[in-house]
Every structure is written in structure tokens, then in C-alpha cells.
Chains A and B, each alone.
Chain A
Amino acid sequence: MWEYTDKVKEHFLNPHNVGEIENPDGVAEVGSLACGDALKLTFKLDENKRIKDAKFKTFGCASAIASSSALTEIIKGMTVDEALKVSNKDIAQYLGGLPDEKMHCSVMGKQALEKAVENYRGAPALESGAKIICECFGVTDKEIERAIRENNLSTVEDVTNYTKAGGGCGGCQDAIQQILERVKAEPKTDNKPKLTNIQKIRMIEETIEREIRPSLKQDGGDIEIIDIIGNRVIVAMRGACSTCKASEITLKDFVQHRLQELVSPDITVEEAAK
């Protein structure tokens, strides 16, 4: 038996806003019968472009129905921009939490909301550049990445609990692992404390020493810091690099990229005048 909060039970037994709005401003359908849950969301705006009414129809378990009910309650009165900021976590929190295995129900709510807003704005339904990773449940790489970032997920099992991806045939679990590793390697810009100048200089030095110089040395090259002015890092290329025609590319695509990733996204790298 699932450990549902009273709030989940309340929204399951007496769901708010069941139904479909006629001539809605935004409409979306996510999930499918095969998945085991599906949600149709409709909303209507008032003259101030705020969500006047939102209704849902859901096929799914108690937490899917409760999440849909919570979602419609949360977004009423919001502008579409405000509504887009509602995350699956907000939906789960509104319900006093959901069991881990049921987090995908809140993600489904978030997906429906985004699609409905896209529909309102006349935008394409599929996120641009998104690729289906989980064929069984039709989950894209973008959806997986977002779930990982927003909920700080660390295992394939977590991803399955939140998005369903990998829960069917299991054939995409390797691909999910790769996405996890990719997202983990991303710089967490928001969480980084602001660096003092001294700290920043030290970090740049350390990063060049540890992460960059060994690679260049493998190719017979080297790098030296000439100066650091704010976010501008002035370097000189040595050894094989100094005569290499591709050193400009090395500088931007490798050195600058690594420093942006590991120290600060604002860093630019320039080569000192020869």
C-alpha cells in the first residue's frame, strides 16, 4: 500500500476542476493509455491574461489524479509566465509530498502545463532538438535532463521514478546513465558562491595546472598565465602550441570552455600579443 498524505487522498477522493473547458485558450494531452497514465489539461485566460479557469481529465492512479487536481488549483490566477515557473516539485509539495515511485505523476502535470502554454502561444508541440530516449514511454532527453536538474537526481532508478524513462523494456538505461553523467558534469552556476578576486585567480591557476596543462603537454605544448583582469584571462601559448595553427581553436574551445565550466561562465581567454 502506498503511503499517501492526507492531502493526496483528499485531492484523489474529491478532485478539484475535473472536466474540459469549451473553447479553451490552451489545451494539452500528455501520456497515453499504454503508459498507464494520461492527462488532458485545458485552461482559459481572463481579460488580464491571467488563468481564469483550468480543468483536467486524468487516466491514472490516485497520485496522478491528485497531482492533476493540485496543478489546476496552483495555476489559477497566474499569468502563463508565472504558471510556467511551477515545477513538478511545487506540485508534489502542494500535496505534502509524493512517494518516490510516484514522482512521475507530478512530472506529468508539469509536462501538460508546458504543452498547454505552448499550444496557447501557437508554438510547436515538441521541444526543439529534443530526442526520444525511452521508446516505451516516449520520454525525451530534454525531459530527462530537466528532471535530473530540478530534482537533483543521481541514479537511473531516480530518473525512472520521476519520468518513467527506463521503466519499460529497460533498453535505454545506458543512455539515461550517460545523460546523468553529462548533467552531473555541468557547472552548477546558481549554486556557486561569488568568488573574491583572489579566489578566482587561484582557481584559474589551479584549473590550468590540473585540467589544462597536462593535456597540452601531451601534444608537446604548454600554457602560461600572463595576466588576469576581471574575467579576462590573458595567456601565452608555449612549445608546440606557439606555432600551432589550431592554437586559436584550442584556446577558445578547450581552455576557455574548461575555465567557464569549472570557474565561472563569464570568463574569456585571450592570447597575449606575441
Chain B
Amino acid sequence: MKTIYLDNNATTQVAQEVLDVMMPYFRDLYGNPSSMHTFGGQVGQRIRAAREQVATLLGALPEEIVFTSCGTESDNSAIRSALTTRPDKKHIVISRVEHPAVRTLCSHLGMQGYKITELPVDKNGILDLENLEKSLTPDTAIVSLMWGNNETGVLFPVEAAAMMAHEKGILFHTDAVQATGKIPINMKNNVIDMLSISGHKLHAPKGIGVLYIRRGTKFSPFLIGGHQEKERRGGTENTPSIIGLGKACELAAKNMAQENTNVRKLRDKLEKELLKKIPQSRVNGDVENRLPNTTNISFEFIEGEAILLLMNELGICASSGSACTSGSLQPSHVLRAMGVPFTMAHGSIRFSLSIYNTEEEVDFVIEKMPPIIERLRGMSPFWNQKGQACTNQ
């Protein structure tokens, strides 16, 4: 069975070009980049090139790029550094829809005595900057807001938010794990202090991330050890993955236009057709202001895990914000923060595309989804024979 992968916000396929540049560094060129000999030193040169490739995608300086092990490490490093370098400040501002890498960290910090403000979003998942303004106090150490939401794709005005924080002398971090490579980012045009990237969301392998740290920003490392990454992140470099990520960033810059034309077109077609063919369905999140590859659609009166497993039978991969898929008993914190009714949140499916998806794949999904939804609704006590919602429920 062919796999139709529409779960690219979870992870992406490593690009062939990326894999090709990585291969020599596993076995043949295995030297340690810190070594004095040429055998290791040549790997060090290759890492410098990768750092430049990443910097180019972000409009950053190479020295502002620190390689980490993943997006979560980058997020943790940024927030912890802000607290360490500003020990007198005990307040952190985030949003209610942040990724667990930020949200769970902050709830732990909350237990250690830090004050956490979680900014609300409206029903479309949009952040009101007025609320941010009001939340900032002289005690605020850092504001951390995601650029693009992983579940809905909704974009936050992080550049404006960073300005607002800066005016009050507060550090600003953004989790740009989903946004990087999908929308243009130019660090020359904003005042964001720190920014997190994850390799495996842009066709590099898992286990590699980046923390961008603006030049001049005080930084206290999370992993303390050797002098790697200018003593900002100890630990021997993950050389094949760093080199792979460099290539992936180069490809992302090249494919950005395609991401915003072809991928967007496919996403829009999928969304439009599903809404047209399937009654009682709706999109979660602002449709204008979002990543070009993501759509989050709720099918009322049925449950997301059951939908996913029937899709799975046909080789179609996606995600759900239902309670049953999260391991907890409540549906996605993002959908709840947006006030999506439980009846809708339980039946939410996230489709996230990439440049590798084809129109044939999207057409196949458009053809297969309506009978799946109909089949489960046929089993649902909230859906009657006439194909309508039972209003007394």
C-alpha cells in the first residue's frame, strides 16, 4: 500500500539531497571537528559551511547560529538562559497555545516560583497584542511566543511582539519550528533575540536543531561542557546532521516559493473539497493568516482517533487533536484555548502537506474521506438516519 503522508507538521521525509551530503560523514569522514589534524579539521570546515547555509535562510550572521539536538532543547535553552542572565526577574509571558516544549517547561518553572502569564487567543487562534502589552511588567524576564502554530498553522505577529518587549527591555524568543522554511524569515528586519528551529520539520533528520541567538545577547548555556559552539552548547557536534541541516536550509530557501504556491494550492483544494463534500465540518483557525501547508478540520459528532485509524487502513497519515489521541482525556489545548466546542474538537483532523505531496494524493484523500466520515457517523448515536445531527443531544 502506498503511503500518503499528510502529517508534515509532525515530521518530514529527509530530502534525498540532504541524505546524500550526510552519508560520507558517518563512516568515511568521521573525524572530530575539534581535532588538530586535517582529518578532523576538514569536518570543522564543512560545519562552518553548514552554519552559513542556516544563517542565509534566516538572514542571520553565522556566529548567531548554535546547533542543538532538537527544537525542544532550543526552546529550553532560550528560556532558561533568559532567567539565568536576568536573575532578578521572575516573570515569563507565553501564550496558551505554545508547544509543550515551552508550555510544560513553564509550568515546571511556575512550580519553582516563577510567575507565568499565558496569553489567550481568540476563536480563530489569533493573539491580541494589546493583551501582550498589558502583561509586561518590570519583573518580566522573557516573552516566548510561537511563530506558526503546529496544530492550526495560525501565525502570531512575533516581529511586532518582539518590538513591544524590547521597548520595555524584555528579551523575546520565538519557537519558529513550524514557520521556518514555510514563510520568509529575515532576522535583519526584526529585533527577535532568540529563535528555535528543528531540523526534521524541514526535511533534515531528527535529532538536530538550532537556536539563533542575536549578536550581543547575553547567553547562559544549557549544556555545559567543551568549547563547542563557542561555549554556548557543550557536546561533540552531530556532524552528519549539522551538514544535512545546512543542505536542508539551502533547499528550503529554494523551495519557499513552491511552498507558497503549489503546496498552498493543494492545501486549499483539499480543504475546500472536504468542506464541500462533508456536512457539519469546519476549519479551525484563521484561514488567511496561517502557514501555507496546514489545515485543521473538525468533523462533528465523531471522534478523531477512529477517523485516523480508518484513514490509516488506506495508507493516509494525518493527526488529530482529539482526547483519545493525546493520551490525556481532554482534547488539544490549542483547540480548547480557541474555544472550539468539545463536539468539534474531538473530531478534529490536521492535514499538513509538504512539497513532496502530489495532486493525485490530494485527490485520493478527497475521494476517500467522505465515506470514512459517513461510516463513523452511521455508528454515532448523535447522528440520525437522515444524515442529520440529533438536535436533542
A residues lining the B interface (CB < 8 Å): 2, 12-13, 15, 18, 29, 33-34, 36-40, 57-62, 64-65, 101-102, 137, 160, 164, 167-168
Contacts and interface: CB of A to CB of B under 8 A. Distances in A.
A57 B378 CA distance: 8
Given A15-B379, A40-B381, A164 B309 contact: no
B301 A59 contact: yes
Contacts of B305: 2, 61-62
Contacts of B328: 167
B318 interface: no
Given A36-B342, A59-B301, 17 more contacts: A18-B378, A33-B301, A34-B343, A36-B329, A37-B303, A37-B324, A57-B381, A59-B303, A59-B379, A59-B381, A60-B324, A61-B305, A61-B322, A64-B303, A64-B324, A164-B329, A167-B330
B121 interface: no
Interface in B90-133: none
- How many chain B residues sit at the interface, stated as a range, is 20 to 34
Interface residues of chain A: helix, strand, loop or mixed (majority): mixed
A61 B381 contact: no
Contacts of A65: 306, 379
A192 to B, nearest CB: 36
Nearest to A60: B303
Contacts of A60: 303, 306, 324
Contact of B306 (A12, A34, A137): A12
User: Which residue of B302, B324, B378 has the most chain A CB atoms within 10 A of its CB atom?
Assistant: B324
B393 interface: yes
B96 to A, nearest CB: 16
B288 interface: no
B331 interface: yes
Contacts of B322: 36, 61
B200 interface: no
B330 A61 contact: no
B393 to A, nearest CB: 7
Closest 3 CB pairs of A and B: A167-B329, A61-B324, A61-B305
Nearest to A169: B330
A13 B375 CA distance: 10
Contacts of A39: 381
